[in-house]
Structure 1
């Protein structure tokens, strides 16, 4: 049991690349953690960490040991938690990285529903544009839209969405309504930065259309807002503009045309997930599949 505990301590230090950060996570004194790792190295007979004043790095032996230990520690933690599930609902702090626009406009009501279902789970959400590192940072999972993942990550498909074309009634009254992709050249198109061509599909037909306009953005929420302010045509998933469609601020145009399907993923760095993470992924998959 002492060896397993020391392996768990080593895994936290290796993930954080810092004794101080790992000690804070583990809630033990930094000196105690350093001493335990030194004793572990002595028992093994190999140096696992190269220590500098600013950072620590894994030795070759440390890399091998970390890969093995992490799987063992994850298995032990999961076994312990699965037994605990017999007595209580999932609990603890769930840390999730979310795409800001998708979270604000679509996931927020689902998250509220999940929180009501599991009152013993607390939440910490990172909605910044930064792509978090699930190995070295303390996140349980990341929700990502249409992004490929490294082979060492576990990506679970939650849903697939296609973009459609939307504009406000007033914009259409003033500028007319396009009927086919070629008509978009004459319109104000609210496009993402570095995306000057929209690819549209209708049955077996595929058309690529160059688009332009006064606005280029890197934020889907702002595209949605400008479209409601009569500034142009938006090319976004229906789920992003559901409220605006319901109250008539936006209207779908060229309904026979749509964009390529985009997949929403739940990404983790391991298949061995605690109950809180499993429940959250299962809930999102079930709820998003209804759309």
Structure 2
């Protein structure tokens, strides 16, 4: 249920959206045009004091106990071998509403996973429009043309989600690796003939794995008691993943967007919207499970 980047869990006072957790689209560029002083008529370049560095907003700390309920319910669910669905529902809904501070901030916490999902969609759309060989050529990955789909995706990893030292970057890369492992089972075997529906499936798989890893890392894999029976542990993981995938699928379908019609600049907004909607759906689904 954890990933290779799993750790002891975030502290309660960790900011809801840490300042280092930035995904694609979070940084605004500057152009130096606004506020520039015109040169005087004699051609001398005016000397102006250096502009002060922009103030950085201090991330708002979370409540010290905001992870407690979600962790306790995750432990109850896992120790039951997956039979305690009410605890699963409570854990997921409490994670979104309490631990993450709501669906909007939960989506912001996806950081690198948003950028990676956007990069993946852009590549697949480019491949669908201009052909896989040309899409790979633009990334200097010509040697992957004609290779099996898993090899192509593995070769894309350093472009889509380069390795880094942060947990956020580790989550993005682990989710990509998990997605590659799922391609054959999803019937995606020919990257040269991807349909719009298959591109949506790839995105759905990636977002599911990323959200699962984000929740497990935030709640703290080492603080959750897993069943000693490997088969029970597999059932727990499968149920959690299925629960999350249903939420992601509903969010993508509710968006009603043909992914292949998105412009490159529109992709990151679409990805962020889907993540936020998915967390909203998961909170609602969790509350429904808890009330049964």
Superposition TM-score, scaled by structure 1 size: 0.24
Q: When you count strand as a share of all residues, which structure comes out higher?
A: 1
Superposition TM-score, scaled by structure 2 size: 0.24
Larger-gyration structure (1/2): 1
Q: When you count helix as a share of all residues, which structure comes out higher?
A: 2
